[in-house]
Structures are given as structure tokens and as C-alpha cells.
């Protein structure tokens, strides 16, 4: 596996972990902060969404999921 693929996998795992983090619900109930003028939970999810879109765009631009074939043999 190439270094670029490892970086993309790590970035995706971090993004999914941030989206699924349950502590955000606890922190959001204690105070009423805002992010970009939105309530904390909505702002947090929008930031996570923007992060994941940028990681997936990077993966798409670098050809992350494409298989390379040479003379009928798969090459990493």
C-alpha cells in the first residue's frame, strides 16, 4: 500500500470518528455556543461534513480507488 493511500485512510477514519463521537452531545447540552452562527451541534456537523468532502475530493483527484493493470496483472 502506498503512502498516499495510508494517509487517505487515516484521514477518513479520523473524519468518521469525529462524526460519530458521542461526547459532542454532552458538551452541547451544557452551554449554548455557536459555530458560524449555528447552534453548536449543527456547526460541528457542518465542519465535519466540509472536512470529509475535502478528504474525499483529495482522494478522487489523486485516483485513490483506481486499480492499475499492466499486461493483465494487478499492480499496487
User: pLDDT, tens digit, for every residue of 24-69?
Assistant: 777 666 667 777 788 877 888 889 999 999 999 999 898 887 766 5
pLDDT average, residue stretch 8-14 = 93
pLDDT, residue 55, reads 94
Q: Are 29 and 44 in contact (CB under 8 A)?
A: no
Cα separation, 3 vs 57, in Å, equals 17
Domain that holds residue 33: 3-75
For residue 33, give the 3-state DSSP assignment: coil
Q: What's the whole-model pTM score?
A: 0.72
CA Rg value for the chain: 18
CA distance 67 to 74: 7
* Tally of domains within the chain: 1
Q: What is the DSSP letter of 75?
A: E
The residue behind cell 460541528 is: 44
How confident is the model at residue 52, as a pLDDT? Answer: 95
Amino acid at each position: 500500500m502506498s503512502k498516499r493511500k495510508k494517509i487517505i485512510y487515516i484521514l477518513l477514519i479520523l473524519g468518521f470518528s469525529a462524526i460519530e463521537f458521542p461526547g459532542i452531545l454532552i458538551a452541547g447540552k451544557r452551554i449554548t455556543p455557536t459555530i458560524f452562527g449555528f447552534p453548536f451541534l449543527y456547526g460541528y456537523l457542518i465542519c465535519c461534513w466540509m472536512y470529509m468532502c475535502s478528504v474525499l475530493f483529495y482522494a478522487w483527484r489523486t485516483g485513490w480507488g483506481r486499480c492499475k493493470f499492466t499486461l493483465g496483472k494487478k499492480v499496487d
